[in-house]
Amino acid sequence: MQATTPQLILASQSPRRRYLLEQAGLTFQVIPSSFDEDSVRPKNPSEYVKTLATAKADEVASRYPGSWVIGADTIVTIDDSILGKPADARQAREMLVRLSGQSHFVYTGYAIVCKQTNSCHCEAVQTRVQFKALSDAEIDWYIESGEPFDKAGAYAIQGLGTFLVRSIDGSYTNVVGLPVCEVIETLFKLGVVRLSHANAKEVAV
């Protein structure tokens, strides 16, 4: 795939999001957003992730008005609680104990923004994830691996945390941090990318 505009930007510091878009054959730049996520109060999960994704994309789009900018945000919800990234081992343990043996939802919001054309498309995608029941030893081992710390809900389905997950219902890439199918579909609809045979590596479908 090829961008039809001068520049496509991923406004994210997340290596997972970068990897997912690269895997889909897109050519883009990475410019992390400096938006302060703590300035937004959690509301209902879909609205919350859409607001954060839009704010992240907006901040970078204002600096690059001629570019299309993708922002995203991922959270885990269980019952009425929203789980973001754990601040320390204690919080990581609390989250994993809570998720053990239960099903929860992962929400990722994504926004695609261009200031020059005054375009903003945002959406939220939901995936249900069922965890196996975890022993204390498994939780200790997983926390000691260090993997939980920069992940919403204190786990990474794409990493060592794969052993925690019994089943999922919905998009896998949405859990990892970006619902690739939906994002690419939107980029096509907006005319931001097109299929190209100019470079074999860029043709994903």
Ligand X SMILES: Cc1cn([C@H]2C[C@H](O)[C@@H](COP(=O)(O)OP(=O)(O)OP(=O)(O)O)O2)c(=O)[nH]c1=O
As annotated, the active-site residues are 73
Span interacting with ligand X, options 11-19, 40-48, 136-144, 186-194, rule CB under 6 A? 11-19
Burial environment of residue 67 by CB neighbours within 10 A (0 to 12, 13 to 18, 19 or more): buried
Span interacting with ligand X, options 38-46, 119-127, 131-139, 146-154, rule CB under 6 A? 146-154
Q: Which of 26, 124, 156, 193 binds ligand X (CB under 6 A)?
A: 156
Q: At residue 165, what are phi and psi to the nearest 5 degrees?
A: -100, 120
- Which tokens is 24 given? 């889909």
Q: Rank residues 25 and 86 by Cβ distance to ligand X and give the closer one.
A: 86
C-beta of residue 109 within 8 angstroms of C-beta of residue 49: yes
CA distance 109 to 37: 13
CA distance 173 to 152: 14
175 sits near ligand X (criterion: CB under 6 A): yes
Q: Rank residues 14 and 186 by Cβ distance to ligand X and give the closer one.
A: 14
Q: Rank residues 72 and 124 by Cβ distance to ligand X and give the closer one.
A: 72
Which DSSP state fits 109?
E
131 sits near ligand X (criterion: CB under 6 A): no
Which regions of the chain does DSSP assign to beta strands (E)? 2-3, 8-10, 29-30, 68-78, 81-83, 103-114, 119-131, 165-169, 193-194
| Binding residues for ligand X, total number by CB under 6 A | 23
157 sits near ligand X (criterion: CB under 6 A): yes
Q: Rank residues 2 and 30 by Cβ distance to ligand X and give the closer one.
A: 30
59-118 residues in contact with ligand X (CB under 6 A) are 72-74, 76, 85, 106
Q: Which of 45, 148, 177, 179 binds ligand X (CB under 6 A)?
A: 177
CA distances from 121 to 36, 95, 111, 114, 153 (A): 21, 32, 6, 9, 26
Instruction: Tell me which residues touch ligand X (CB under 6 A).
Output: 12-14, 16, 32, 56, 72-74, 76, 85, 106, 150-153, 155-158, 175-177
